[in-house]
């Protein structure tokens, strides 16, 4: 095992470390928790690091497919060895230019959010002389789980409203360049417990069957979404789902009786569950200060390095590990970054061991929604180094960069 202090000395801080063996374990565990026929799409937005992506297609069992939402993500997965045919392209704002690129690079399956989205896909596909397979994303009118991050049941830029889809279908069927190939549901994110996850999947499967019966929508591929949980910047273990396989099989047997023969093919999506616990953010204490009765531990990783979806208040208090304890006791402290904004907060009132400048702090479970979800450009600070390890040895070390491209001018 490589010591944090050694990695910090070699590569500097802040530093992300991704353990590829943990990704392999997460993929293996999720595969075992699902019926064998179910396909897994990896949500690339969670972590598009090249070695992370390669880990999704290597090792035992069927490789993951990929769920992407930009041509940048498409380039990343192609570089990692996936093909355009392995991709499900999603998102409510697909432009004509990116569709031309995606279809030109072999993407043939799209999640469609609206009639305008479908027409745009069809027009570009027709220009390329191909037909795009389209899943209609459905914004269900109700939900089963009452906890977790809701992604359905309210007015939204995502998906067709379930209650109006039947009236829209005749127009959708006539769009040239596309074929309606199925349905896509994504009702929740990061389910709080297995019961909530199972309840939502049951609700989705029953809703898809009802939609097919009432509207005649052909469903060759049914993406029932995700919701698989994981701790974020907090100590804790990736949740297990011992009941999920049997419960999914029962629900599918009732509502999709031919699913075991691939009619329809069933798919799920997962991002954070597959990669969250592979990552650790290592940073260094720059200063410890007291202000009006509170202690602030200032570290060299702020929301520019660990933004929690760009610092939108979704951070959880991190745990703290030290390379060498010492100095005065900090007790409870607020961990902040080095940026000149009061929003640069990593964790509030965190229980701290004694720390002093130069100590190393490690924030666990940061393999998902880390560096690429952060305010990387803010204040022009360099991105953290990202190190991938396997079997206790460093596989790669890299740093994201940015540069300006001059357009014309004299």
Positive or negative: CA dihedral 213, 199, 315, 313: positive
Using only the alpha carbons of the chain, give its radius of gyration.
23
Considering the candidates 64, 278, 283, 340, report the single residue annotated as catalytic.
Answer: 340
**Tokens matching residue 409:** 């001018």
pLDDT (tens digit, 9 = 90+) per residue, 281-332? 999 999 999 999 999 999 999 988 987 644 444 444 455 544 544 544 557 8
Domain ranges for the chain, please list them.
Answer: 34-275, 277-366+370-399
Question: Structurally, what CATH architecture does the domain formed by 34-275 represent?
Answer: Alpha-Beta Barrel (3.20)
pLDDT (tens digit, 9 = 90+) per residue, 140-149? 765 554 444 4
Are 34-275 and 277-366+370-399 equal in CATH topology? no
Residues 217 and 167: their CA atoms lie apart, in Å, by 12
**Tokens matching residue 9:** 């000395």
Residues 55 and 117: their CA atoms lie apart, in Å, by 32
Q: Considering only CA atoms, which of 253, 272, 249, 378 is closest in space to residue 30? A: 272
What's the pLDDT score for residue 36?
A: 94
How many residues in the chain?
410
Residues 166 and 178: their CA atoms lie apart, in Å, by 18
What's the pLDDT score for residue 143?
A: 53
Measured CA to CA in angstroms, residue 164 lies from 114, 128, 211 at distances of 12, 31, 11
What's the pLDDT score for residue 155?
A: 46
What's the pLDDT score for residue 368?
A: 94
Residues 29 and 31: their CA atoms lie apart, in Å, by 5
Residues 315 and 83: their CA atoms lie apart, in Å, by 34
What's the pLDDT score for residue 396?
A: 97
Q: Is 340 a catalytic residue?
A: yes
What's the pLDDT score for residue 397?
A: 97
Q: Produce one character per residue of 354-392: b if its CB has 16 or more CB atoms within 10 Å, e if not.
A: ebbeebbbbbbbbbbbbbbbbbbebeebebbbbbbbbee
What's the number of CA atoms in the CB half-sphere (13 Å) around residue 313? 0
What's the pLDDT score for residue 141?
A: 63
In the chain, which stretches have pLDDT less than 50?
145-151, 153, 155, 309-317, 321-322, 324-325, 327-328
Q: Between vectors from CA 232 to CA 231 and to CA 238, what angle results, nearest 5°?
A: 25
Residue 86, exposed/middle/buried by CB under 10 A (0-12, 13-18, 19+)?
buried
Q: Considering only CA atoms, which of 253, 246, 273 is closest in space to residue 367? A: 273
Class of domain 277-366+370-399: mainly beta
């Amino acid at each position: 095992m490589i010591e944090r202090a050694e990695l910090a000395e070699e590569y500097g801080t802040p530093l992300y470390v991704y353990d590829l063996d943990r990704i392999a374990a997460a993929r293996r565990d999720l595969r075992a928790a699902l019926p064998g026929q179910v396909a897994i799409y990896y949500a690339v937005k969670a972590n598009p690091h090249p070695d992370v992506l390669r880990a999704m297609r290597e090792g035992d069992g069927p490789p993951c497919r990929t769920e992407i939402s930009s041509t940048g993500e498409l380039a990343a997965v192609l570089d990692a060895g996936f093909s355009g045919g392995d991709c499900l392209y999603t998102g409510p704002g697909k432009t004509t230019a990116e569709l031309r690129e995606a279809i030109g690079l072999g993407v043939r399956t799209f999640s469609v959010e609206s009639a305008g989205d479908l027409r745009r896909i069809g027009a570009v596909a027709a220009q390329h002389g191909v037909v795009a397979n389209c899943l209609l994303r459905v914004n269900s009118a109700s939900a089963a789980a009452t906890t977790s991050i809701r992604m359905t049941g309210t007015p939204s830029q995502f998906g067709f409203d379930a209650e109006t889809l039947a009236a829209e279908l005749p127009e959708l069927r006539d769009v040239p360049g596309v074929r309606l190939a199925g349905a896509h549901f994504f009702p929740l994110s990061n389910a709080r417990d297995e019961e909530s996850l199972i309840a939502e999947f049951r609700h989705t499967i029953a809703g898809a069957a009802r939609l097919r019966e009432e509207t005649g929508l052909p469903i060759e591929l049914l993406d029932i979404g995700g919701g698989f949980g994981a701790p974020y910047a907090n100590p804790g273990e990736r949740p297990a789902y011992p009941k999920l396989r049997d419960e999914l099989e029962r629900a599918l047997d009732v509502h999709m009786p031919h699913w075991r023969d691939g009619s329809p093919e069933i798919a799920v999506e997962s991002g954070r569950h597959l990669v969250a616990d592979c990552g650790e953010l290592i940073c260094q204490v720059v200063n410890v200060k007291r202000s009006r009765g509170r202690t602030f531990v200032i570290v060299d990783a702020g929301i520019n390095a660990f933004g929690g979806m760009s610092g939108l208040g979704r951070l959880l208090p991190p745990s703290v590990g030290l390379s060498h304890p010492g100095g005065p006791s900090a007790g409870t402290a607020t961990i902040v970054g080095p940026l000149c904004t009061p929003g640069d907060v990593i964790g509030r009132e965190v229980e701290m061991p004694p720390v002093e400048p130069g100590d190393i702090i490690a924030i666990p479970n940061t393999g998902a929604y880390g560096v690429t979800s952060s305010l990387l450009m803010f204040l022009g600070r360099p991105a953290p180094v990202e190190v991938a390890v396997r079997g206790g040895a460093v596989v790669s070390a890299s740093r994201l960069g940015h540069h300006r491209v001059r357009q014309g001018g004299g």
